[in-house]
């Protein structure tokens, strides 16, 4: 009998248990856990830091290296999207403007 199924099963089961424990960690105690003020202030910036960590390499790098040319569709798209955001303060509009600039440059002109 082959035991090839055992390793993937153990991996999936272990990840499921780990996910369940870490996601329910804050719901297990009956009373609220005290957090220091410095941690509460720091957690306010966590979503922005995570978003920056995901988006910045996508904008500034291509194939694992920094962009070396200005002929890249991402750069004008980012500039237009940032300008729109500071003008209107809308997330959806920012995404739409960025994509309206990016797609014609990337698909149409091959940037």
Give the pLDDT band of residue 1 (cuts 50, 70, 90).
Answer: low
| Secondary structure of residue 36 in the 3-state scheme | coil
Q: Does residue 43 form part of some domain? A: no
Q: Does residue 87 form part of some domain? A: yes
Strand partners, 62: 65
Instruction: Indicate whether this model's pTM tops 0.75.
Output: no
Q: How many Å apart are CA 52 and CA 10, to the nearest integer?
A: 34
What confidence score (pLDDT) does residue 18 get? 95
Average pLDDT over residues 99-105: 96
Q: Does residue 103 form part of some domain? A: yes
Q: Does residue 93 form part of some domain? A: yes
| 22-75 confidence digits (pLDDT tens) | 888 777 778 887 889 999 999 899 988 998 999 899 899 988 899 988 889 999
Domain that holds residue 90: 69-110
Could you give the maximum distance between any two Cα atoms of the chain, in Å?
66
Structural domain tally of the chain?
Answer: 1
Q: Does residue 64 form part of some domain? A: no
């Amino acid at each position: 009998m082959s035991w090839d199924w055992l390793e993937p099963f153990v991996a999936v089961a272990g990840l499921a248990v780990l996910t369940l424990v870490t996601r329910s960690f804050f719901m297990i105690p009956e009373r609220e856990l005290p957090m220091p003020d410095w941690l509460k202030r720091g957690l306010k910036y966590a979503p922005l830091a995570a978003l920056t960590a995901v988006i910045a390499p996508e904008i500034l790098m291509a194939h694992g290296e920094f962009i070396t040319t200005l002929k890249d569709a991402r750069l004008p798209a980012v500039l237009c999207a940032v300008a729109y955001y500071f003008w209107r303060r809308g997330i959806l509009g920012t995404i739409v403007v960025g994509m309206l600039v990016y797609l014609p440059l990337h698909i149409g002109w091959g940037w």
